[in-house]
Structure 1
Amino acid sequence: MTNSTVPSFAVVGHPNKGKSSVVSTLARNDQIAISMQSGTTVVSETFDINIGQAHYRLVDTPGFQRPRKVLAWLKAHNPTADKRRECVIAFLNDESCQQQFVDEIELLKPIIDGAAILYVVDGSRPYSPEYEAEMEILRWTGQPTMALINPIQNDDYVANWQAALGQYFSVVRVFDAVKADIEQHIELLQAFAAIHQPWQAQLRAIISAFENETTHQVFQSCFVAAQLLEEMTQYKTRKKALSKTQAQTLKPVLEKQFYDWMRRREKNALDELQLIYRHQRLERSDSELSLPDDLFDTEKWYGWGLSKKQLTSVAAVTGAAAGGALDLAVAGHSFMLGAIGGGVVGSTAAWFGADKLASSKIKGLPMGGYEARLGPVASKNFPYVILARFVFMFSQLKGRNHAQRDGIVLDEIGLEPLLDNLNSDDKKKIFVALDRLSRQKSVDDLPDLLAPLFALVD
């Protein structure tokens, strides 16, 4: 017998009506198998959901296969209403029934063990009397019930389902398993707390834990973003050589090492963000940021970072020289930028004197040796590009439903609309912080400074 003090919900219904999608959404777990083929779930599977100190269970069950025959078996024993639950238990213990009704045995076991019932139907399909046998069997168990109308393709028949389900279930809700957000999840728990008094305290604790977790996830995201910004704006690489000629030949080696590290560091941060929001299996395509020869004349660059106008505003706020941020000619060398696949900024930067984007140097060492160096990136716009790409992914994950299985492409997002919605004090703090980062200066409390920006993301 399941511990009845721990809220437990068995998700049941007809095959292929979105039961596993509902479980994935409520479990906040994208590792639950979902398929459009009937029979994806063949045995009951229990998921323990731990949110802080709160705990509850979800049980994904097979679909009803022969409900009319099961109901006929139950009715043949002609129990009075007070004996119907006992009759269902007798059905579960009957060896012949265990052989004939495998799916029904699997889905009824957790309910008899104490799980409440979440009955799922497809609101885009017509109501039919064939479902009444299922609903009647569930009613015989005597467990608290809620019906969820999942509009898989449309909501054409939702009203018909509401009229029918209201005769069998204590609460009826429309719940799109692939689009429902955390607020709708919490509403379901609140509704159950209202109809099943023994679980009220536990369910309220779960609701509070969900709300606290949502706040904590945003803070964790700010922390990961801050680490990414600090490390990518400070990174540099170097190698020693015996001669200046040998040092010069190290150019392609250093460039590959430098930009491979950039790509890998951003990827790791985005992977960490997915883990924060429990999207472990989400397929993500990290788009290339392809840049032509002139970085600061590139619309793509401005799409990610800031425009010339915004950079001028930043310069005014921070006291930096805006012209310096836009100057591309250093010691007569142009940058000639290419692309970093899945990275933040491209480069086949001039090997000598490129100190505005990626500083590359060959320096004589004691004992006649030389050292070739590359980095760090010194562009004023560079931190904004990094931040914009991270914020885009954050915006995709923050409210993403765990039953949604299409992938994400890391695409363009402009920071300017978000920055424009910040109050002047918060905006100035971010401008100053990112300006310091572009000059490889440390920034205290960077996660806290970024928090107001992340709070604006829907």
Structure 2
Amino acid sequence: MTAVSIPQLCVVGHPNKGKSSIVSTLAENDSVRIGVESGTTRHADTFEFIVQGRVMLALTDTPGFQRARQVLAWLQAEAVSPSQRPERVRAFLARPEHRQRFPDECELLDPIMAGAGILYVVDAAQPVTAADEAEMEILRWTGQPRMAVINPMDPEHADPDQAWQRTLNQYFQWVRVFNPLTAALPARQSLLRAVGELTAGWSQPINRLCRQLEQRDRERLQAVSHALGAYWSEQLTLRLPLDKAPEAVVKAEEQLRQQLNAQEQLFFHQLAVDWGHRQAALQQTTPWDLTGAELMQTETWYLWGLRQHELLLVAGSAGAAGGLAVDVGLGGSSLLLGALSGGVLGTAGGWLASRERRPNWLGRLAGGREKRFAGPVRHPNFPLVVMARALTLTQQLWLRPHARRDILALRTSAEAWSRSDQVRLLQWARALQRPYTPGLTTPSRKWTASAQQKLVSWIHDTLNDRLQRAWEEQTDKVWRHDEHKPAD
């Protein structure tokens, strides 16, 4: 095979073994068509993996084998030496009638015989069949560098005696286990480095690709820390105009909730676009009925930050105000807005509710001045809620392989932040929210660029620690075979 500057891989195998999912995850491309029905891929289609504007890898998604045993029978009908087998495969492709009779086999063999390496995909939960062996023998006849990937589509029913491993070792230079629906960067890098060992000339570009991915992640972490810090500050300082209508309070509640939800959706959407998840969607829940008597119970606060008794301790340590939901006004005075001393969550939340009742009137300030603004949400748990959701959302999207097509649902649980971290967040929130300059919707100058940078640095370190733990957990769970297995 002639050395190439850009490694090219043809992903092949039987239908419904996850070939397209592997292409999507390795190429970080969610436009690759994936379906549960057999025959989703009908034609060979090449996807380029571009990093920093440069093509680093080409992956060709192919139809599955349909008549492997008949093709192998044709190849073996004429005795040839091992060195002549690739020419025999080319002779098979040169026959016009084979294009009609074996369209899928021709589609997948064309790019291989044009110089692509082979990534053969199997399902560990299925037994090895004669058709599988015929496919592997055909691929060996091509003479191209080849690697096998065991896709644990159903890990609970994977082959306990590793028959696949022993069989694949006879046909392929490397054998790896790789789940395209869970593989984060370390798992992908491990697979790519094995690809780099398939043939001369691939090691250097693959190593360069892995280094660039690491550099990209460092830059991504820095960028998203700034973006998340700006988003958190915006949520905590959000204020909306309040008109003079009698229904102004109820209207302001709804508008404030919608705006907080919209800003969370915008934050998610921008990350998804920047990271190539253009088809990703964040799960929406039914909005809480803010006019009803039943609202979100305080017992569920722990899901987002602190338990109620802990919240009071941390809030007291931070000097944060308790029992105040939303500021409504000009200057330093405030009036409880809504039936609660909680705050607005985001998409999955609604309001954090206490057992306080909604006042049925809107007061005036001394001197006859009416309140003109609704917001910000001042409940001391609200900063922790917003940060917990944003960090969780960022982590889940970061670790999400591009082969995933399900709606992203936040899996937020009780935070493991130290008491000092919780106090620090609440102190930053207090500095952001108090006081406001009358007539302005931006925070006062007490919140400085230096304070914002400290917030960004905290987010950077916290998110980095969470990602590192997630990668370590995934590495511990991955079924890996790191020994080099030369083909016979």
TM-score range, shorter chain: 0.7 to 0.9
| Counterpart position of 2:347 | 342
1:227 matches 2:240: no
Residues 206-239 of structure 1, C-alpha deviations (whole Å, 9 max, x = no match)? 1112222333333333223212111112221226
Q: How do 1:405-416 and structure 2 match up within 5 A?
A: 405-415=405-415
TM-score by length of 1: 0.83
Question: Residues 257 and 346 of structure 2 are in contact (CA less than 8 Å); yes or no, is this contact kept in structure 1?
Answer: no
**2: CA distance, partners of 1:432 / 1:340:** 19
Q: Name the residue aligned to 1:418.
A: 417
Aligned residue runs from structure 1 range 24-173, under 5 A: 24-52=24-52, 53=54, 55-153=56-154, 154-156=157-159, 159-173=162-176
**Between Structure 1 and Structure 2, which shows a larger proportion of strand residues?**
1
Q: Which runs of 4+ in 1 moved over 6 A?
A: 291-297, 328-332, 338-341, 351-354, 360-365
SS at match of 1:260: helix
Is the 8 Å Cα contact of residues 136 and 171 (structure 2) preserved in structure 1?
Answer: yes
Look up the match of 1:16: 16
Question: Where does residue 452 of structure 2 map in the other structure?
Answer: 444
User: 1:316 Cα shift?
Assistant: 6.0
Using the alignment, how far apart are the partners of 1:144 and 1:328 within structure 2? 64
| Identical-residue share of aligned pairs (%) | 34
**Any conservation in 1 of the 2:23–2:59 contact (CA below 8 Å)?**
yes
In structure 2, what is the Cα distance between the partners aligned to 1:300 and 1:169?
53
SS at match of 1:11: strand
Alpha carbons 1:289, 1:345 under 8 Å: kept: yes
Deviation readout 1:30-61 (Å, 9 max, x if unpaired): 33222222111110111111123461011110
Answer yes or no: is the 8 Å Cα contact 1:126–1:157 preserved in 2.
Answer: no
SS of the residue 2:228 aligns to: helix
Structure-1 residue corresponding to 2:259: 261
Gapped runs of 5+ residues in structure 1?
Answer: 241-245, 355-359
Instruction: Give the one of 187, 191, 194 matched to 1:188.
Output: 191
Task: Report if aligned partners of 2:264, 2:346 keep a CA contact under 8 Å in 1.
Answer: no
Mapped partners of 1:336, 1:92: distance in 2: 74
When structure 1 is superposed on structure 2, of 435-444 and 183-192 the one drifting more is 435-444
Contact 1:39 1:62 in 2 (8 A): yes
Paired letter, 2:273: L
CA distance in 2, matches of 1:30, 1:394: 18
Letter of the structure 2 residue corresponding to residue 164 of structure 1 = T
Match for residue 434 of structure 1? 429
Give SS of 2:47's match: strand
Deviation for aligned residue 1:250: 4.1
Task: Indicate conservation of the 8 Å contact 2:299/2:308, yes or no.
Answer: no
Query: What per-residue deviation string (whole Å, max 9, x for no partner) do you get for residues 228-265 of structure 1?
Result: 1111122212266xxxxx45454444443332211111
Equivalent position SS for 1:325: coil
1:146/1:170 contact within 8 Å kept: yes
Quote the residue 1:243 is aligned against: none
Q: Secondary structure at the match of 2:197?
A: helix
Q: How many residues align?
A: 436
Where 2:56 maps in the other structure, the secondary structure is: strand
For 1:380, the equivalent position in structure 2 comes to 380
Q: Which letter does structure 2 place at the counterpart of 1:452?
A: D
Paired with 1:408 and 1:364, the residues of 2 have a C-alpha distance of 49
Aligned to 1:357: none
Say yes or no: does 1:197 pair with 2:171.
no
Instruction: Name the CA distance, whole Å, in 2 between partners of 1:305 and 1:351.
Output: 30
Gaps of 5+ in 2: 327-332, 435-442, 471-488
Q: Counterpart amino acid of 1:200?
A: S
Residues 39 and 202 of structure 1: CA distance in aligned 2, closer, same or farther (over 3 Å): same
Alignment of 1:206-245 (within 5 A): 206-238=209-241
